[in-house]
Amino acid sequence: MAKMHVSTTINGEPEEFLCEPNETMLDVLRDRLNLTGSKEGCGSGDCGACSIMLNDTLVCSCLMLGAEAEGAEIKTIEGMADGLSLHPLQQKFLESAALQCGICTPGMLVAAKALLDENPDPTETEVRFWLAGNLCRCTGYDKIVRAVLDTAEEIRGKA
Partner 1 sequence: MTNIQYLAPTTLDEAVSLYAAAAGSARILAGGTDLLVQLRSGMINPGIIIDIKKIKELNSIEQKADGSFVVGASVSGTQLAKHSSFGKTWPGVLEALNLIGSTQVQGRASLGGNLCNGSPAGDSIPALIAAEATVNIQGPNGSRQLAVKDVLSGPGSTNLSQDEIAVNFIFPTRQLGSGDAYLRMIPRTEMDIAVVGCGVNLTLENNICTSATVGLGAVAPVVLEVEAAAEALVGNKIEEETLERAAEACRAVCNPIDDKRGTIAYRTKVAGVLMKRAATIASQRAEGA
Q: Which of 70, 117, 121, 153 binds partner 1 (CB under 8 A)?
A: 70
Q: Which of 35, 65, 89, 152 binds partner 1 (CB under 8 A)?
A: 65
Task: Please give the single-letter amino acid code of residue 73.
Answer: E
Cα–chain center distance at 42: 15
Judged by CB, which is closer to partner 1: 6, or 147?
A: 6
Return phi, psi of residue 143, to 5°. Answer: -65, -35
Q: Give the separation between CA 73 and CA 137, rounded to whole angstroms.
A: 31
Is there binding between residue 72 and partner 1 (CB under 8 A)? no
Please say whether the beta carbons of 40 and 49 come within 8 A. Answer: yes
Q: Which of residues 8-27 bind partner 1 (CB under 8 A)?
A: 20-22, 24
Q: Do you know the residue count of the chain?
A: 159
Is there binding between residue 119 and partner 1 (CB under 8 A)? no
Please say whether the beta carbons of 8 and 72 come within 8 A. Answer: yes
Q: Which of residues 39-58 bind partner 1 (CB under 8 A)?
A: 43-46, 48, 51, 54, 57-58
Is there binding between residue 1 and partner 1 (CB under 8 A)? yes
Is there binding between residue 111 and partner 1 (CB under 8 A)? yes
Q: Which stretch binds partner 1 (CB under 8 A): 8-16, 97-105, 123-131, 140-148?
A: 123-131
* H or E element that contains 157: helix 142-158
Please say whether the beta carbons of 19 and 6 come within 8 A. Answer: yes
Residue ranges in contact with partner 1 by CB under 8 A:
1-2, 4, 20-22, 24, 43-46, 48, 51, 54, 57-60, 62-65, 67-68, 70, 111, 114-115, 129-134
